[in-house]
Amino acid sequence: MTTNVLVVGKGGREHALVWKLAQSPRAGKVYCAPGNAGTAQDGTNVPFDGTDFERMTRFCKKESVGLVVIGPEDPLALGLADHLRTNGIRVFGPSKAAARIEASKVFSKELMRHADVPTAEFRIFDHPAPARTYVETRDYPVVVKADGLAAGKGVIVCKDTPDAVRAINRIMVNEEFGQKVGRQIVVEKRLEGEELSLLALVAGRSILLLPPTQDHKAAFDGDAGPNTGGMGTYCPAPVGTPDLLKKAEEDVFVPIVHAMKRGRYPFNGVLFAGLMLTNQGQRVLEFNCRFGDPEAQVILMRLKSDLLSLLEAVADERLGEFAEPVVWDDRPAVCVVMCSGGYPGKYEVGRPISGLDEAAKLPDVKVFHAGTKGLNGRTLTDGGRVLAVTALGDDLAAAKARAYEAVKRISFTGAHFRTDIADKALRRK
């Protein structure tokens, strides 16, 4: 019996999910709502998004969708998973209550404190004046975080006290990220170190760690420029040693997952810990309640097992009994994000993209689409992050070389990408 699947979202992560799910021998139709030009090739796009709960529910019933996989955080924070489950539809993704681990920084930090998970020292404020006094009396730099979701923009890493005061004013007084988002803030100690993305499939109390990945958040080479959603990844990240992963499971995942279960908001889906590897050990910077983008692209590129069975086991809370061990390609993967000139600031869309077919001819390369749309047989840019060009190689250097070979074959006006993805790990060798 085959299963029809619906993936919710329209980014590179969702294209990777659609592509991998469609390879399952048990997959029926693989839909994507609303999808992009890439998901239309590997699956079937449907014209509604993750905020249209009623339409999605009707569609799932009419088309006998047996599993909905929710990609981004916004529909999860709005309660899409709860709505679908209430309507008898099987879902991979956390409830609204569990999604607060990403949707509310205040909730997340309080939960970390309660569960004794290592994280940066912090205080929560609901008025700007005491927050200003607090930062003025710190002898270390801080990070100021708006409580709610702000498309990744509500986190301000500050270099000194005037910077921190400005950040507090931007969030709480000017309400630059929205009124609700800025009602409360977290002020925390700024940590130094290397960042690592550690994702795990979680169902109730069962935890299955996925291979460690490293993202490149800054827009330009050498980690310069403004923070983006992610400019490139590689997997596995060698800094994620077996010892480190074991410690992360024991000190981070087990306590948080158990605390969520005890709190009656058990987690179901992908739990993503953004870790900072400091001199004093690993600290959690944030939790996300979904696959990372572009972490998903490199992880799924290396997955050899059937993704559909794995996600169904999570959705049904059978992960603990999942009989088959998960098999990974031994080869590392590198993903280079090509984006529109100007991103993460202002950028233009609607530019024709050429060279996609030439890039696709390269072995062990997959060009995942993010902000793209198809029009009269052409593929046009349609967002900030446009493509996630992903390759496998016999070693990290080979994977990097192949990914950039593919990038070289693709062009659109104003295209920008980093040229140093994976260099941190390559330099260390």
213's tokens: 């990945």
Indicate which single residue of 14, 147, 188, 295 sits in contact with ligand GLY (rule: CB under 6 A).
Answer: 295
Residue 338 forms beta bridges with which residues? 387
**Distance from C-alpha of 116 to C-alpha of 223, rounded to nearest angstrom:** 31
If one asks whether residue 102 binds ligand GLY (CB under 6 A), the answer comes out as: no
Q: In whole angstroms, how far apart are CA 50 and each of 8, 43, 91?
A: 6, 17, 13
Indicate which single residue of 9, 212, 266, 292 sits in contact with ligand GLY (rule: CB under 6 A).
Answer: 292
Report in angstroms how near the CB of residue 70 gets to ligand AMP at its nearest.
19
If one asks whether residue 190 binds ligand AMP (CB under 6 A), the answer comes out as: yes
Closer residue to ligand AMP in complex, CB, 190/318:
190
If one asks whether residue 75 binds ligand GLY (CB under 6 A), the answer comes out as: no
**Cα 90–chain centre separation:** 22
What is the CB-side half-sphere exposure of residue 194 using CA atoms within 13 A?
14
**Distance from C-alpha of 207 to C-alpha of 260, rounded to nearest angstrom:** 13
If one asks whether residue 266 binds ligand GLY (CB under 6 A), the answer comes out as: no
How many beta carbons lie within 10 A of that of residue 179, not counting itself?
8
Closer residue to ligand GLY in complex, CB, 124/218:
218
Instruction: Specify the DSSP element, H or E, that contains 230.
Output: none
Closer residue to ligand GLY in complex, CB, 295/306:
295
If one asks whether residue 340 binds ligand GLY (CB under 6 A), the answer comes out as: no
Q: Give backbone dihedrals phi and psi of 139, rounded to 5 degrees, phi first.
A: -105, 25
Q: Residue 34, preceding bond cis, omega within 30 degrees? A: yes
Report in angstroms how near the CB of residue 359 gets to ligand GLY at its nearest.
22
If one asks whether residue 154 binds ligand GLY (CB under 6 A), the answer comes out as: no
How many beta carbons lie within 10 A of that of residue 286, not counting itself?
18
If one asks whether residue 274 binds ligand AMP (CB under 6 A), the answer comes out as: yes
If one asks whether residue 285 binds ligand AMP (CB under 6 A), the answer comes out as: yes
Closer residue to ligand GLY in complex, CB, 147/295:
295
Contact of residue 295 among ligand AMP, ligand GLY, none (CB under 5-8 Å per partner type): ligand GLY
**Distance from C-alpha of 306 to C-alpha of 55, rounded to nearest angstrom:** 29
The interface with ligand AMP within residues 156-185 (CB under 6 A) comprises 157
How many beta carbons lie within 10 A of that of residue 346, not counting itself?
9
Contact of residue 318 among ligand AMP, ligand GLY, none (CB under 5-8 Å per partner type): none
Q: Give backbone dihedrals phi and psi of 161, rounded to 5 degrees, phi first.
A: -65, -50
Indicate which single residue of 215, 312, 364, 382 sits in contact with ligand GLY (rule: CB under 6 A).
Answer: 215
Give alpha helix (H) positions in 218-342. Answer: 242-248, 254-262, 295-302, 307-315
Report in angstroms how near the CB of residue 263 gets to ligand AMP at its nearest.
21
Indicate which single residue of 74, 286, 364, 382 sits in contact with ligand AMP (rule: CB under 6 A).
Answer: 286
**Distance from C-alpha of 38 to C-alpha of 367, rounded to nearest angstrom:** 8
The interface with ligand AMP within residues 20-39 (CB under 6 A) comprises none
Report in angstroms how near the CB of residue 130 gets to ligand GLY at its nearest.
30
Indicate which single residue of 66, 71, 94, 230 sits in contact with ligand GLY (rule: CB under 6 A).
Answer: 230
229's tokens: 């959603």
Report in angstroms how near the CB of residue 218 gets to ligand AMP at its nearest.
9
**Distance from C-alpha of 22 to C-alpha of 151, rounded to nearest angstrom:** 29
The interface with ligand AMP within residues 139-158 (CB under 6 A) comprises 143, 145, 155, 157
Q: Which residues bind ligand AMP (CB under 6 A)?
A: 120, 143, 145, 155, 157, 188, 190-191, 195, 217, 274, 285-286
